[in-house]
A and B are shown apart, each in its own frame.
Chain A
Amino acid sequence: MAELRRILHVEDDPSIQAVTKLALEAVGGYEVLSCSSGAQALEEVEAFAPDFILLDVMMPGMDGPQTLLRLRERIDLERIPVTFMTAKVQPSEIEHLRKLGARDVIVKPFDPMQLAEQIRSIWLSGRY
């Protein structure tokens, strides 16, 4: 079974970007690459070869769902779980995101101390 090591995080808000990176690196011990836009993620995804992708939904320019579609054109997402982060909590929205192929949806705000554990359990949930 592959191990979860590298996480690609796409988020335009610098504060959230910083706290996520800290939470995942310091608490979870993962290696995190933060991208500020979908376009940047597309450029860097191949070189970074992530095991897991964390996408913000609402971003200026290319939003989360669009980034997911474009990522899928570029790399094989069969074995890389993609999880969205969003402040929207309507069940229909979450359902829509799942339909797009998201493994799970993390609702903002989140607790920085718990985030790494949350990602780990999402990672494990799809392993069998």
Chain B
Amino acid sequence: MDDRTRLALQAQLAQLEQQFGERLQADLTDLATLAQDLQQTRATASRRLVMLSIRERLHRLAGAAGTFGFAKLGERARQLEQRADRWLDSAKPGSRAAEAFARAVLQLAGETPGQERDGAAELPEHHEEPAPGCRIYLMKADPVAGASMAVTLRNFGYLVSQWPNFAALEKAVADELPDALIVSVEHDSKFEALAALQQGLEQPLPLLVIHDRADFASQLAAVRAGAQGFFVRPLDITQLENSLERCLDRQQGEPFRVLIVDDDLELATRYSLVLRNAQMQVQILTEPTRVLETMRSFNPEVLLLDVNMPDCSGPELAQMIRLHDEWLRVTIIYLSAETDTHRQMAALLKAGDDFITKPISDTALVAAVYSHAQRARSLSTALARDSLTGLLKHADIKEQLALEVQRTTRTGKPASVVMLDLDHFKQINDTYGHAAGDNVIRALANLLRQRLRRIDSLGRYGGEEFVAVLPECSALQARRIFDEIRVRFAALSFNAGDQEFRVTFSAGICETDGHSASGLLLEHADQALYVAKHNGRNQVQIAQR
């Protein structure tokens, strides 16, 4: 290349760099807006979406900035992208880590980027990154028992700090707020101090209490201290973990979905504003005839139904909705200026769960809808889960698999399906009784939950049969994971009366291939499971195709 061409080329490059610099300003402003969104978003699912879109932009910056002479900016974007990846991959992504991340992104976006082609730009300040999980403070006087609890909770993906006494806990809370508290209470007198600690906070922390006995007085004192869970020693730690998950989810679950059906658009808009301000997702429908299709697309948890509408009445509409089993989980609340209690009750008897009389204060509306929505949601979670293991039921795990298969065709990253079956389970039931059999199933479910990631789905497929779906995991990786679980499980000893016994399982694995439907993948995994059984059980096999 001669000098003239080189000069012309460099001029063109410089022009492209300048254009990029202008675009960069706009990109950084967008990034700052997203970071602010992240700070304001509390629901895990919505937060995840914001995080994904921030990661995409950081990725873009990481790739482009360096090419145009903004090498340091690109490098920092890459580091932040990896941080976002860690958060997204974390088993229990915490809110504090998300907040710190948002601050770091804001800092990056707030600086005027300089081109460092001539070097000598100063190094970015290094901020220590908090770990991405949910932080739990555990107070337990007995350090050994406390440590063993902490280990189990860490296995579930929490970050656990342990404090030996109340003063230490108080100081730790003042230094840095955790996401939840677990306190083992020896004397009822401790509840007052706990209540005082909670009252000193802007918002009380989710609190789980462990106590010696469950009498009325101590449960009442616990509730007054803000407890959301109460456990009696000896402690069932998986039950405690369930409860912890529930109260963390309650804090940051997805927004409740509320559908308002009212022919008075103005009033409906007013209600919708009030509920939206309380972080709920609201849709308004003024034509009752379209209620079923709207419900199908919006999938509401609570329905606010005007009693008097021109085409059909609220109670008629409610009865129509109750004709469909799929909407049994939806709470129906009537809205009306009706003050005649007899007519109100008649409407309730037809279908529906509650009655709100217009006019209603904003706070009362929010409280009524919120409490019903919360109840509806915990019921529907309970219904989708198997009661013995807390895992997904047959139909739900199949649905999960179908979704994952769709996703892999999009991303091209393989996922694995694992089918797992306890060996000689009938014999265990016959020899040691069904209660012992149930214990085995529960223990396996807990172990699987502990060892798998949060993005993995786990379901009880049949009596002693389980299915796991592992996104972004090859069959070989899945075999490694399940072989480790197999060894751990075989080492557990179970008791029935004075007899001790051990149980093993066999598993079959099939990797997605980008075109096979989920039913076929399950079939292949099942064939591999058959091979594992046939070869002598207590082993993991990959489907041969």
A binds B: yes
Q: Are B1 and A109 in contact (CB under 8 A)?
A: no
Once the chains are docked, how many angstroms separate the CA of A96 from the CA of B12? 36
Q: Are B67 and A96 in contact (CB under 8 A)?
A: no
B residues in contact with A58, CB < 8 Å: 56, 59-60
Q: A16 an interface residue at 8 Å Cβ cutoff?
A: yes
Decide yes or no: A69 and B412 within 8 Å by CB, A18-B16, A26-B9, A109-B64 being known contacts: yes
Q: Are A66 and B23 in contact (CB under 8 A)?
A: no
A59 to chain B, nearest CB (A): 10
A residues in contact with B78, CB < 8 Å: 87, 89
Per-residue CB proximity of A26-48 to B under 8 Å, as 1/0? 11000000000000000000000
Give the contacts of A91-118 with B (CB-CB under 8 A). Answer: 96, 100, 108-112
B324 to chain A, nearest CB (A): 36
Give the contacts of B39-79 with A (CB-CB under 8 A). Answer: 56, 59-60, 62-68, 71, 74, 78
Q: B514 an interface residue at 8 Å Cβ cutoff?
A: yes
A residues in contact with B71, CB < 8 Å: 109
A residues in contact with B220, CB < 8 Å: none
Q: Are B13 and A22 in contact (CB under 8 A)?
A: yes
Q: Are B23 and A15 in contact (CB under 8 A)?
A: yes
A30 to chain B, nearest CB (A): 14
Once the chains are docked, how many angstroms separate the CA of A100 from the CA of B412? 9
What is the number of contacts between chain A and chain B, taking CB atoms within 8 Å? Answer: 72
Once the chains are docked, how many angstroms separate the CA of A15 from the CA of B20? 6
Name 16 extra pairs, CB < 8 A, besides A13-B60, A16-B63, A87-B60: A15-B20, A15-B23, A15-B64, A16-B64, A19-B16, A22-B12, A22-B13, A22-B16, A63-B411, A65-B411, A69-B514, A87-B81, A88-B59, A108-B64, A108-B66, A109-B62
Chain B residues with a Cβ closer than 8 Å to the other chain, count: 29
**Nearest chain-A residue to B71 (Cβ)?**
A109
Most B CB within 10 A of own CB, among A15, A58, A66, A111:
A15
Pick the contact of B65: A22, A96, A100, A109 (CB < 8 A).
A109
Q: Are B66 and A109 in contact (CB under 8 A)?
A: yes
B residues in contact with A87, CB < 8 Å: 59-60, 62-63, 78, 81
Most A CB within 10 A of own CB, among B19, B60, B78:
B60
Q: B5 an interface residue at 8 Å Cβ cutoff?
A: yes
Once the chains are docked, how many angstroms separate the CA of A24 from the CA of B362? 64
B residues in contact with A111, CB < 8 Å: 67
Most A CB within 10 A of own CB, among B8, B16, B23, B81:
B16
